[in-house]
Amino acid sequence: MGCGKSTIASLVGDAENVPVLCPDDFATPEPTSGNIKGRIDLKQLHKSARKLLKRPAIFEGVCLEELLPRASFGRGFIVYLKRVSLVAGGSPVWQDEKELNARERAANPIDEEVRRYHRTYRPHERADLCLAVPEGCD
C-alpha cells in the first residue's frame, strides 16, 4: 500500500487508452466486516470486471487475488510494485519486507490482512514483473 499503484495504473491506462478498474472505487459506506472484502461491494466490482474481460484493461489494488480471483477472472499479466528506499551506493531496500514478514499482529486490521495475503499468495514472488518504486514517487 502506498507505493503508487493507482498513479502508475492511471498513467499506463491513459497512455494505452485502456480502462482501469480499482476496487477502492467500490468501497461500501457500511462495511460488512473489518477486512478488505467486507469493505468492497464485490457484486458491483465483479459486474464491472466481467464487462472488461473481453478487452485489455488494468485491474489495480491490493489483495486482488481475493477480490478478483483468477478462477473467475483469469490471471492476466501481473505487475507487483515494491516501495523501496535507496541506500548508499544506490541499492534499493524493500520497505515493506520486514512489515509483511512480521510475526506479531498489526494494530490495524487492514494491515494485518495485507500481511496474511502476502504470506498466503506471495504476490511479490509470483508476479510477471516486479518494479521497485522509490519512496516519495506517488
Q: Which sequence spans correspond to the domains of the chain?
A: 5-134
Per-residue pLDDT, averaged over 17-36, amounts to 84
What pTM, to 2 d.p., does this model score?
0.78
| The pairing of beta strand 79-86 with beta strand 92-94 | antiparallel
| Res. 16 pLDDT band, cuts 50 70 90 | very high
Q: What is the pLDDT of residues 37-87, one digit of tens each?
A: 888 999 999 999 999 988 899 998 888 888 999 899 888 888 888 877 777
The DSSP annotation for 54-65 comes to TS--EE-SSSHH
List C-alpha distances in Å: 30 to 13, 35, 123. Answer: 30, 12, 29
Q: Are 20 and 10 in contact (CB under 8 A)?
A: yes
State the distance between the two ends of the chain, measured CA to CA, in whole angstroms: 11
| Res. 106 pLDDT band, cuts 50 70 90 | confident
